[in-house]
Amino acid sequence: LGTLFGLGLGPGDPELITVKAERMLRRIPVVCVPKARAEGSSYARSIVNLLIDPDRQRVVELVFPMTSDKSVLERYWDRALEKIVTFLVAGLDVAFVTEGDPMVHSTFIPIHQLISERYPCLAVEIVPGVTSMCAAAAAARVPLVNNAERLAIIPAVHNADRLADALGEFETVVFLKVNRVFDRLVKSVEERHPAKGAVYVSKCGTADQEIVWNISDLNQADVPYLSLVIVRNG
Ligand X SMILES: C[S@@+](CC[C@H](N)C(=O)[O-])C[C@H]1O[C@@H](n2cnc3c(N)ncnc32)[C@H](O)[C@@H]1O
Q: Tell me which residues touch ligand X (CB under 6 A).
A: 11-12, 98-101, 104-106, 131-133, 136, 176-177, 201-205, 225-228
Instruction: Name the residue nearer to ligand X (CB basis): 43 or 170.
Output: 43
Least distance CB 203 / ligand X (angstroms): 5
Instruction: Select 92 or 211, whichever has its Cβ closest to ligand X.
Output: 211
Question: Residue 215 contacts by C-beta under 8 Å, 6 or more apart in sequence?
Answer: 185, 186, 189, 198, 199, 200, 229
Query: Of 2 and 129, which has the nearer Cβ to ligand X?
Result: 129
Closest contact distance (angstroms) between CB of 223 and ligand X is 10
Report the alpha-carbon angle 124-99-162, nearest 5: 105
The secondary structure of residue 90, as a DSSP letter, is T
Q: Please say whether the beta carbons of 95 and 24 come within 8 A.
A: yes
Q: How far is the CB of 58 from ligand X (least distance, A)?
A: 24
Say if strands 227-232 and 172-176 run parallel, antiparallel, or are unpaired. Answer: antiparallel
In the 8-state DSSP scheme, what is residue 99?
Answer: S
Of 177 and 232, nearer to ligand X (C-beta) is 177
Least separation in angstroms between CB 11 and ligand X: 4
Tell me the residue number closest to ligand X, measured at CB. 100
